[in-house]
């Protein structure tokens, strides 16, 4: 169903495709944990072109490719010598496309993954194009929710932190809408969910609440999805320090939240989740990160037609 397709955006998937990806990821998770011999991509080469560095995402893609017995060639950083010589992204992709079987690209420019897809014969996976899309992170998020909660439907999900700039939050909001979940948006006013997105989610039937009261929100939430509030977003650093403190999850927050609440975070975290939460059993953010490898194994294998 996905053979030969590009993975560019979170809105491209049908529910059947999402199920296929999640089931394939679950199967790979089982096989890796079993130490099964996996060589579904034996003889294939994956190009990981990280023009914008992102260690975590790169390592999870490279591990995934290696676990499938594919080989990896990579570019790390914008100062790749061809780009420095003035070569267009189009040309770079057309050249690399001749060496490999799948291209994974991360680039700071919005639309770059689409450009790559337009110039490659082989499938392209978008590993983040600027502030635009990061579809594989969103797939990891829903895979994690399904695994932690047993189902993707019927939850109340609080989104916490920087809801304005966080692309993972925007994508996840879309998916939660798709699967009929209730959403509560908790953020400082300056970083609230963009109005057009909230309107879009509502037009698709989503039940949405917006508040600054974290405690009330968590008291009725099955899941909280935490994001980092970046200092750079504030003109006034006192404002930053004041706000930051009011949106920290620690063991006290958890004690007052709905029993069994699942805590997610796309990582890296700084201090928005206190480390005393790490051994709370509902703290799923490291499991979420680890799921990244299985979901990316599924994507690489599916688009290359190896599974």
- As measured in angstroms, the least distance from the Cβ of 169 to a copy of itself is 16
Distance (Å, rounded) from C-alpha 213 to C-alpha 199?
A: 21
Per the DSSP assignment, residues forming a β-bridge with 46 are 72, 102
- Binding-site member from 56, 202, 242, 251 for a copy of itself (CB under 8 A): 56
Q: Which is nearer to a copy of itself, 180 or 305 (CB)?
A: 305
Instruction: Judge whether 57 counts as a catalytic residue.
Output: yes
105: contact with a copy of itself by CB under 8 A:
no
276: contact with a copy of itself by CB under 8 A:
no
Q: Which two tokens stand for residue 128?
A: 């983040």
198: contact with a copy of itself by CB under 8 A:
no
Per the DSSP assignment, residues forming a β-bridge with 208 are 183
Torsion of CA 150, 259, 188, 284, to 10 degrees: -50
Q: Is the peptide bond before 65 cis (omega within 30 degrees of 0)?
A: no
DSSP letters, 119-158, are: H-SS-EEEEEETTS--HHHHHHHHHHHHHHHS-SSS-EEE
Instruction: Judge whether 85 counts as a catalytic residue.
Output: yes
Instruction: Judge whether 3 counts as a catalytic residue.
Output: no
26: contact with a copy of itself by CB under 8 A:
no
- Binding-site member from 14, 16, 34, 86 for a copy of itself (CB under 8 A): 86
Q: Which is nearer to a copy of itself, 77 or 194 (CB)?
A: 77
| Binders in 224-253 for a copy of itself, by CB under 8 A | 228
Q: Which two tokens stand for residue 182?
A: 């209730």
Query: How far is residue 104 from each of residues 110, 139, 157, measured CA to CA in Å?
Result: 15, 15, 30
Q: Which is nearer to a copy of itself, 19 or 63 (CB)?
A: 63
Q: Which two tokens stand for residue 219?
A: 């008291």
- As measured in angstroms, the least distance from the Cβ of 164 to a copy of itself is 18
**Contact positions toward a copy of itself, by CB under 8 A?**
35, 37-38, 42-43, 45, 47, 53-56, 59-60, 62-63, 66-67, 69, 71-73, 75, 79-83, 85-87, 90-92, 94-96, 98-100, 228, 267-270, 275, 286-287, 289-290, 292-293
């Amino acid at each position: 169903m996905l053979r030969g397709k590009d993975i560019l955006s979170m809105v491209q998937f049908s529910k059947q495709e999402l199920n296929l990806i999640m089931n394939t990821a679950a199967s790979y998770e089982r096989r890796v944990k079993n130490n099964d011999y996996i060589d579904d991509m034996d003889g294939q080469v994956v190009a990981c072109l990280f023009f914008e560095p992102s260690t975590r995402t790169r390592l999870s893609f490279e591990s995934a490719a290696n676990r499938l017995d594919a080989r990896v060639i990579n570019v790390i950083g914008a100062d790749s010598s061809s780009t420095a010589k003035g070569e267009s992204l189009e040309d770079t992709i057309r050249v690399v496309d001749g060496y490999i079987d799948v291209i994974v690209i991360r680039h700071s420019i919005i639309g770059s993954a689409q450009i790559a897809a337009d110039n490659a014969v082989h499938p392209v996976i978008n590993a983040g194009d600027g502030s635009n899309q990061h579809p594989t992170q969103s797939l990891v998020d829903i895979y994690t929710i399904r695994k932690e909660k047993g189902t993707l439907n019927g939850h109340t999900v609080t989104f916490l932190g920087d809801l304005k700039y966080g692309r993972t939050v925007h994508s996840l909001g879309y998916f939660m809408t798709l699967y009929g979940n209730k959403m509560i948006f908790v953020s400082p006013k300056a970083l609230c969910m963009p109005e057009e997105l909230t309107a879009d989610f509502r037009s698709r039937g989503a039940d949405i609440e917006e508040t600054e009261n974290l405690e009330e929100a968590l008291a009725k939430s099955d899941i909280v999805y935490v994001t980092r509030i970046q200092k750079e977003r504030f003109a006034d650093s006192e404002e930053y320090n004041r706000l930051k403190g009011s949106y920290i999850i620690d063991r006290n927050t958890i004690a007052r939240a709905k029993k069994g609440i699942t805590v997610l975070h796309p990582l890296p975290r700084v201090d928005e989740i206190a480390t005393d939460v790490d051994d709370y059993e509902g703290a799923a953010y490291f499991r979420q990160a680890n799921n990244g490898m299985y979901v990316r194994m599924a994507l690489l294998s599916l688009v290359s037609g190896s599974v």
